[in-house]
Amino acid sequence: MTQRRLEKMNELMKEAVAVLLLQRSKDPRLRLVNVTAVKMTADLKRAVILYSLLGGDGEKAAVQKALDRATGFVRTAVGESLGLKYTPEIKFEFDRNLEYAQHMSELLSSLSQDGAGAEDHDR
């Protein structure tokens, strides 16, 4: 499979899962989920769906459990909506990239504030 086709399938699946969780999910916790990326294997047999959400660590655990329970529903619905010959096995994982980016931003901000304070002190 070409890289371009794989990227297209990742994007199609990302959109399908996001719409599914927002519009067809009966669990209100799943409406808080933001699908950030999908990583499918080249043979399209497995897909890792990365997601983010606003909330504390307790909420993350509850949402992960709800997503784990909804995996079969999501897989069936995505297979129907995309018309795939073979629907990939799905695994949901929390996307830590946003937390990491926020942490780095805070570090850079604190460094720039420390640097500005040191310049004022040197004068």
> What's the pLDDT tens digit per position in 71-115?
999 999 999 998 888 899 999 999 988 777 777 888 888 888 876
Distance CA 28, CA 37 (A): 21
Q: Where residue 23 sits, what CATH number does that domain have?
A: 3.30.300.20
31, part of any domain? yes
More confident: 32 or 68: 68
Residue 112 is assigned to a structural domain of this protein = no
Q: Answer yes or no: is 110 within a domain.
A: no
36, 17 Cβ separation under 8 angstroms? no
Give domain status of residue 48, yes or no: yes
Residue 123 lies in a domain: no
Asked if residue 34 belongs to a domain, the reply is: yes
User: How buried is 71 (Cβ within 10 angstroms: 0-12 exposed, 13-18 middle, 19+ buried)?
Assistant: middle
Q: Which domain holds residue 15?
A: 3-96
Indicate the number of domains in the chain: 1
Q: Which residues of 29-53 are buried (b: 16+ CB within 10 A; e: fewer)?
A: bbebbebebbebeeebeebebbbbb
What is the arithmetic mean of pLDDT over 9-15? 95
- Tell me whether residue 86 is in a domain: yes
Question: Positive or negative CA dihedral for 99, 102, 106, 112?
Answer: positive
Q: Examine residue 108 and state whether it is found in any structural domain, yes or no.
A: no
